[in-house]
Amino acid sequence: MVFDFLKGQFIDVIHWTDDTRDTMVWRFERQGHEIKYGAKLTVREGQAAVFVHEGQMADVFGPGLYMLETNNMPIMTALQHWDHMFQSPFKSEIYFINTTRFNDLKWGTKNPIMTRDPEFGPVRIRAFGTYSMRVTDPAKFMTEIVGTDGEFTADEISFQIRNVILQEMSRALAASKIPVLDMAANSADLGKLVATAINPQIADYGLSLPELYIENISLPEEVEKALDKRTSMGIVGDLNRYMQFNAAEGMAQPGSAMGAAMGAGMGAGLGMGMAQNMAAAQAGPWGAAPAAAAQTPPAPPPPEKLWHTATAGTTNGPFSRSHLGRMITDGQFTRETLVWTAGQDGWKPAGEIAELAQLFTVAPPPPPGA
């Protein structure tokens, strides 16, 4: 009867169901830590059970259903000096460890990372992202990290993991020699590189990092503003055409200051045109112009164009048309030479421009003996 009474006091099934999302270790609570010999231990998928006897690490059980007997607990049997006929309860602490992945854990740089960019020189960058973590060695994790904590959560180890990530992230970014503008395209490779460097270190804790993601790499605000200006200049392109576009846009807005100025200019042009028409009307019926009209000086000739040349990646000039003609004689200017002048849309071969192509038709042949 006494044995039956004691038998009813001890638990028959030991198991753990976790309703939280951040518990890594949970200690099975039993008054006096008394476990019945022959009790059933249920370890579910994604769990491990660790027995600690009198402060010493004993047996570790993976997923499955176990009868707590001497043949299933070799280390405990050796510690207790049990024989195969042992039937009384024993005292031991049982810790259940969650071996599934803990996802969407955050990391980020508190202070900027100094790196040397091949285009901008020394720059300070920040980065942040997420990572996943899991327990790969329950016994080592218990020994190195948990100790006697009865309920251990992911937050208690995530701070240490973040420090290791940031240390390796700084080293990887500094040694990668990837331009800052190209880091976004290489973030996946950088994440794998950092995770590979971190895993040997955190393996000493019984942990691993299956995944590490870099969500963003950013520059200081002043550098981003400079990049925005540089991008704007690239979008503008040809400044002359840009100014013409702005002028046309201003004319289309009569209420604006630019529209008023352009309107005044057009008015002045129309007035000059009317004056010329009146002067023509005052001419005789046979086209004879008054004496005052006959003395009007002719309009000045248009200014001569100046040309720039491009050879072997360098530009020269500006040169006048006559100077280019002399360069043909010296062999320094050919039909294939790229040229550009104000108002021209990009560089073009000299042979495709009518006013320069004439130079090659009238150029004298090379001197004898050349």
Close Cβ partners of 337 (under 8 Å, ≥ 6 residues apart) = 309, 310, 311, 349, 350
- The candidate with the shortest Cα–Cα distance to 127, out of 194, 41, 196, is 194
Judgement on whether residues 83 and 108 belong to the same structural domain of the protein:
no
- Domain limit, last residue, from 61, 80, 98: 98
Q: Both tokens of residue 2?
A: 């006494």
Mean pLDDT over the full length of the chain = 77
- Residue 367 confidence class, pLDDT cut points 50, 70, 90: low
Q: Which domain holds residue 161?
A: 102-223
User: What is the spatial distance between Cα 209 and Cα 203, in angstroms, rounded to a whole number?
Assistant: 9
Burial of 18 (0-12, 13-18, 19+ CB in 10 A): middle
Q: Is residue 193 part of a domain?
A: yes
Q: Is residue 280 part of a domain?
A: no
- The candidate with the shortest Cα–Cα distance to 130, out of 165, 90, 170, 178, is 165
Task: Kindly write down the DSSP assignment for every residue of 208-276, as one continuous string.
Answer: EEEEEEEEEEE--HHHHHHHHHHHHHHHH--HHHHHHHHHHHHHT-TTSHHHHHHHHHHHHHHHHHHHH
- Identify the residue whose tokens are 């951040």: 22
Instruction: Please give the tally of structural domains in the chain.
Output: 3
pTM above 0.75, yes or no: no
Task: Give the CATH number, domain containing residue 346.
Answer: 3.30.1490
Close Cβ partners of 37 (under 8 Å, ≥ 6 residues apart) = 68, 69, 86, 87, 88, 89, 90
Judgement on whether residues 94 and 114 belong to the same structural domain of the protein:
no
- Residue 178's pLDDT is 81
pLDDT digits over 229-260, tens only? Answer: 766 666 655 556 666 766 776 666 655 555 55
User: What is the spatial distance between Cα 129 and Cα 35, in angstroms, rounded to a whole number?
Assistant: 45
Of the listed ranges 21-35, 134-148, 253-267, the least confidently predicted one is 253-267
Judgement on whether residues 198 and 115 belong to the same structural domain of the protein:
yes
Q: Is residue 183 part of a domain?
A: yes
Cβ(169)–Cβ(176) below 8 Å: no
- Residue 208 confidence class, pLDDT cut points 50, 70, 90: very high
Cβ(347)–Cβ(339) below 8 Å: yes
- Domain limit, last residue, from 98, 120, 150: 98
Of the listed ranges 119-128, 268-277, 359-368, the least confidently predicted one is 268-277
Task: Give the CATH number, domain containing residue 145.
Answer: 3.30.479.30
Judgement on whether residues 60 and 132 belong to the same structural domain of the protein:
no
- Domain limit, last residue, from 189, 223, 257: 223
